[in-house]
Structure 1
Protein backbone atom coordinates (compact mmCIF):
# COMPACT_ATOMS: atom_id res chain seq x y z
CA UNK A 1 0.00 0.00 0.00
CA UNK A 2 1.30 3.44 -0.94
CA UNK A 3 1.17 6.26 1.59
CA UNK A 4 0.81 9.90 0.67
CA UNK A 5 1.67 12.44 3.37
CA UNK A 6 0.05 15.73 2.41
CA UNK A 7 -0.04 17.28 5.87
CA UNK A 8 0.50 21.04 5.75
CA UNK A 9 -0.66 21.49 2.16
CA UNK A 10 -3.63 23.75 1.47
CA UNK A 11 -6.49 23.44 -1.02
CA UNK A 12 -6.33 22.50 -3.86
CA UNK A 13 -2.99 20.70 -3.46
CA UNK A 14 -4.17 17.66 -1.44
CA UNK A 15 -6.79 16.78 -4.06
CA UNK A 16 -4.40 17.43 -6.97
CA UNK A 17 -1.60 15.35 -5.47
CA UNK A 18 -4.05 12.54 -4.68
CA UNK A 19 -5.27 12.61 -8.29
CA UNK A 20 -1.68 12.44 -9.58
CA UNK A 21 -0.86 9.53 -7.25
CA UNK A 22 -3.94 7.59 -8.35
CA UNK A 23 -3.02 8.11 -12.01
CA UNK A 24 0.32 6.35 -11.43
CA UNK A 25 -1.18 3.32 -9.64
CA UNK A 26 -2.23 0.06 -11.27
CA UNK A 27 -5.85 -1.10 -10.97
CA UNK A 28 -6.59 -2.58 -7.55
CA UNK A 29 -3.76 -0.74 -5.79
CA UNK A 30 -4.46 1.10 -2.53
CA UNK A 31 -3.19 4.49 -1.41
CA UNK A 32 -3.56 5.94 2.06
CA UNK A 33 -3.67 9.73 2.13
CA UNK A 34 -3.01 11.85 5.24
CA UNK A 35 -3.70 15.58 5.19
CA UNK A 36 -4.54 18.48 7.48
CA UNK A 37 -6.52 20.77 5.16
CA UNK A 38 -10.16 20.75 6.38
CA UNK A 39 -11.38 21.17 2.78
CA UNK A 40 -9.92 17.75 1.96
CA UNK A 41 -12.89 16.22 3.82
CA UNK A 42 -15.00 17.46 0.90
CA UNK A 43 -12.50 17.54 -1.98
CA UNK A 44 -11.01 14.05 -1.77
CA UNK A 45 -14.31 12.11 -1.53
CA UNK A 46 -15.60 14.25 -4.43
CA UNK A 47 -12.48 13.44 -6.47
CA UNK A 48 -12.86 9.72 -5.76
CA UNK A 49 -16.53 9.84 -6.75
CA UNK A 50 -15.71 11.51 -10.06
CA UNK A 51 -12.84 9.15 -10.89
CA UNK A 52 -14.79 5.98 -10.13
CA UNK A 53 -12.20 4.81 -7.60
CA UNK A 54 -13.34 3.44 -4.22
CA UNK A 55 -13.08 5.32 -0.93
CA UNK A 56 -12.66 2.32 1.39
CA UNK A 57 -12.23 4.26 4.62
CA UNK A 58 -11.85 7.76 5.97
CA UNK A 59 -11.19 9.09 9.42
CA UNK A 60 -9.88 11.86 11.57
CA UNK A 61 -7.29 11.83 14.33
CA UNK A 62 -7.05 15.33 15.78
CA UNK A 63 -6.41 17.60 12.81
CA UNK A 64 -5.20 14.79 10.52
CA UNK A 65 -7.67 13.44 7.98
CA UNK A 66 -6.97 10.03 6.46
CA UNK A 67 -8.41 8.42 3.36
CA UNK A 68 -7.91 4.88 2.08
CA UNK A 69 -8.55 4.75 -1.67
CA UNK A 70 -8.55 1.74 -4.00
CA UNK A 71 -7.79 2.42 -7.67
CA UNK A 72 -10.49 1.13 -10.02
Structure 2
Protein backbone atom coordinates (compact mmCIF):
# COMPACT_ATOMS: atom_id res chain seq x y z
CA UNK A 1 0.00 0.00 0.00
CA UNK A 2 1.44 3.36 -1.01
CA UNK A 3 1.82 6.22 1.42
CA UNK A 4 -0.73 8.96 0.78
CA UNK A 5 0.61 12.51 1.14
CA UNK A 6 -1.47 15.61 1.72
CA UNK A 7 0.24 18.96 1.29
CA UNK A 8 -1.72 21.38 3.46
CA UNK A 9 1.04 23.96 3.72
CA UNK A 10 -0.33 27.48 3.51
CA UNK A 11 -3.78 26.42 4.70
CA UNK A 12 -5.20 27.66 7.98
CA UNK A 13 -7.38 25.95 10.57
CA UNK A 14 -9.53 23.95 10.03
CA UNK A 15 -8.51 23.16 6.44
CA UNK A 16 -5.54 20.83 7.14
CA UNK A 17 -7.70 18.57 9.32
CA UNK A 18 -10.64 18.76 6.90
CA UNK A 19 -8.38 17.65 4.03
CA UNK A 20 -7.06 14.80 6.18
CA UNK A 21 -10.56 13.71 7.19
CA UNK A 22 -11.84 13.76 3.61
CA UNK A 23 -8.92 11.73 2.26
CA UNK A 24 -8.65 9.18 5.07
CA UNK A 25 -12.36 8.33 4.82
CA UNK A 26 -11.86 6.49 1.51
CA UNK A 27 -8.84 4.47 2.65
CA UNK A 28 -8.71 0.96 4.08
CA UNK A 29 -7.94 0.32 7.75
CA UNK A 30 -4.19 0.41 8.36
CA UNK A 31 -3.49 2.85 5.53
CA UNK A 32 -1.11 5.67 6.39
CA UNK A 33 -1.38 9.32 5.48
CA UNK A 34 1.47 11.83 5.64
CA UNK A 35 0.13 15.33 6.27
CA UNK A 36 2.34 18.39 5.74
CA UNK A 37 1.06 21.47 7.56
CA UNK A 38 2.52 24.81 8.61
CA UNK A 39 -0.55 26.15 10.42
CA UNK A 40 0.40 26.61 14.11
CA UNK A 41 -3.04 25.34 15.15
CA UNK A 42 -2.38 21.97 13.49
CA UNK A 43 -0.14 21.06 16.44
CA UNK A 44 -3.33 20.88 18.51
CA UNK A 45 -5.90 20.09 15.82
CA UNK A 46 -4.34 16.97 14.27
CA UNK A 47 -3.77 15.09 17.56
CA UNK A 48 -7.27 16.09 18.70
CA UNK A 49 -8.76 14.81 15.43
CA UNK A 50 -6.95 11.50 15.86
CA UNK A 51 -8.14 11.13 19.44
CA UNK A 52 -11.73 11.88 18.48
CA UNK A 53 -11.80 9.52 15.47
CA UNK A 54 -9.66 6.70 16.84
CA UNK A 55 -7.00 7.02 14.14
CA UNK A 56 -3.41 6.57 15.33
CA UNK A 57 -1.04 9.52 15.29
CA UNK A 58 2.12 7.55 14.55
CA UNK A 59 4.55 10.46 14.59
CA UNK A 60 4.99 14.21 14.39
CA UNK A 61 8.25 15.57 13.03
CA UNK A 62 9.50 18.88 11.75
CA UNK A 63 10.19 19.18 8.05
CA UNK A 64 11.33 22.11 5.96
CA UNK A 65 9.23 24.87 7.48
CA UNK A 66 6.33 22.59 8.39
CA UNK A 67 5.22 19.79 10.66
CA UNK A 68 4.88 16.30 9.22
CA UNK A 69 2.10 14.17 10.73
CA UNK A 70 1.95 10.45 10.06
CA UNK A 71 -1.56 9.12 10.68
CA UNK A 72 -2.68 5.47 10.46
CA UNK A 73 -6.35 4.84 9.76
CA UNK A 74 -8.15 2.77 12.36
CA UNK A 75 -10.77 0.14 11.63
TM score, norm. by length of structure 1:
0.94
Deviation at 1:61, TM superposition (A): 3.0
**Residue 27 (str. 1) matches residue 52 (str. 2):** no
Unaligned runs of 5+ in 1: none
Unaligned runs of 5+ in 2: none
Deviation at 1:62, TM superposition (A): 5.1
- Give secondary structure in 2 for the equivalent of 1:32: strand
Q: How does 1:1-72 map to 2 (within 5 A)?
A: 1-61=3-63, 63-72=65-74
1:8-64 CA distance string (max 9 Å, x none): 001110111111111111111000000110000000110011100100000123530
Name the structure where strand makes up a greater proportion of residues: 1
Task: Give 4+ residue runs of structure 1 displaced > 3 Å after superposition.
Answer: none
Aligned length: 72
TM score, norm. by length of structure 2:
0.90
